[in-house]
Amino acid sequence: MLTVLSMGLAVALVVSVLVVYGVVQQSFHRGGEGYDLIVGAKGGREQLVLNTVFYLSQPVGNIPYDYFEELTIGKFAGAVETAIPVCMGHNYQGFRVVGTVPEMFAKLKYAGDKSYKFAQGENFKTENLYDGVLGATAAARTKLQIGEKFQAVHGSGIGGHTHKQTFTVVGILEPTGTPVDQAVFVNMYGFQH
């Protein structure tokens, strides 16, 4: 009887490990879709991907803004369909604040061919420097609503220097099952001020 119980527990453990592995693999695969090429500062490739795609790990160094312009309006513009900058280094209540451009939600796809949709509000506009969009989980946990203001904190952890500039929530995304749910997005041009 004890042998049968031990065998049953062993099989259950193996099945549990396989299920967890499948869920983790699917989550990483879903979160990484939509990125054909990542351009970043010198450093570890894994760290660049973890930071840029999954908003994990410490931010890698910055690259000059001129590189982004070369990809969008410069000599490589004809060969680049969409370039999405990702600026890191701030947080709000423990959620990564990502400086980017409106095309992040207007053009980037996830989970194959799905487009980002807004549960409330709308995407920020390039000309509105201090607007922000919240991922579904970030919105639920911070309890921020459309029209409310927040201030980013320097660094990726809690306890850094709070910036004076305030951002206004203009959009809350529908859940995606990707790392986007866990982040706060702001206009890249306001992020840099």
Q: What is the pLDDT of residues 24-82, one digit of tens each?
A: 455 444 555 566 778 888 878 888 877 788 788 777 778 888 998 999 999 999 999 88
pLDDT at 8: 65
Neighbour-count burial for 116-126, b at 16+ CB within 10 Å, e otherwise: beeeebebbee
Cβ pair 135, 185 in contact under 8 A: yes
Distances (CA, A) of 88 to 35, 42, 54, 111, 137: 17, 15, 12, 23, 19
Collapsing DSSP to helix, strand or coil, 101 comes out as coil
Tokens of 67: 């590189």
Collapsing DSSP to helix, strand or coil, 104 comes out as helix
Q: What is the pLDDT of residues 79-92, one digit of tens each?
A: 998 899 999 889 99
| Stated pTM of the model | 0.82
Between the two ends of the chain, the Cα-to-Cα distance in Å is 69
For the CA atoms of the chain, what is the radius of gyration?
19
Q: What is the pLDDT of residues 121-141, one digit of tens each?
A: 999 999 999 999 999 999 999
Cβ pair 106, 121 in contact under 8 A: no
